[in-house]
Structure 1
Amino acid sequence: MDETLDIIIGKGGTARMVYHEAFDARCLGHPTIRRGSEVEPTADGRWTADLARVGGPRLGPFTLRSQAITAEVDWLRRFWLERDVSNFNINPNPGEVP
């Protein structure tokens, strides 16, 4: 997986990033960490990345879990990370698109 860490900080000071253990987000204040997607196995032993919580698609299936995680992180960086931070929301109910 790419070790690049992107942090987007909005005009009001709200920060958004894809979680990475190499960076302690507590240095920015009191972080709220929310699950943005789910990587799960399929019935036939392959893997998907479901990004419904952030209004995204289901990616895959992939042969390896690591492939699904890489696709998940790539999608989050390309399509979610730079969305308007003032409207930041991760939907706790993946059946509803925010």
Structure 2
Amino acid sequence: MQLKVEPDGTLHAVYQEEIDLSSLGPLEIRRGSHVEPNANSLWEADLSPVSGPVLGPFPHRADAIQAEQAWLETFWLPAFLQV
């Protein structure tokens, strides 16, 4: 799990249950994407909630979730560190 810390102490992360994030302070959880099947029963990760692309299609839901997490960790989390 990647945690990005801003100078004011605000943390950003892709939510996972590896650690209890509430132990670090109050939480504000927002959806980063929607992983859903398309009309052809293939899976897509729609990252529009964070101004990202639609990834896929993938044959398995797990593949879409893996791509979603990789995109968020590569493109969304680092954006919080730009000054």
TM over 0.5, shorter chain: yes
Instruction: Supply the distance in 1 between the matched residues of 2:17 and 2:45 (Cα, whole angstroms).
Output: 20
TM-score (normalizing by structure 2): 0.94
Runs of 5+ consecutive residues of structure 1 not aligned to the other structure: 87-98
Sequence identity (%)? 46
**Alignment partner of 2:20 out of 19, 24, 30:** 24
TM-score (normalizing by structure 1): 0.80
Instruction: Supply the distance in 1 between the matched residues of 2:67 and 2:9 (Cα, whole angstroms).
Output: 28
Q: Which has the higher helix share?
A: 2
Runs of 5+ consecutive residues of structure 2 not aligned to the other structure: none
Correspondence for 2:38: 42
Correspondence for 1:13: 9
- Coordinate RMSD, CA, aligned: 1.2
Write out aligned runs for 1:56-95 (5 A). Answer: 56-84=52-80
Instruction: Supply the distance in 1 between the matched residues of 2:40 and 2:71 (Cα, whole angstroms).
Output: 24
Instruction: Give the Å deviation of 1:23.
Output: 1.3
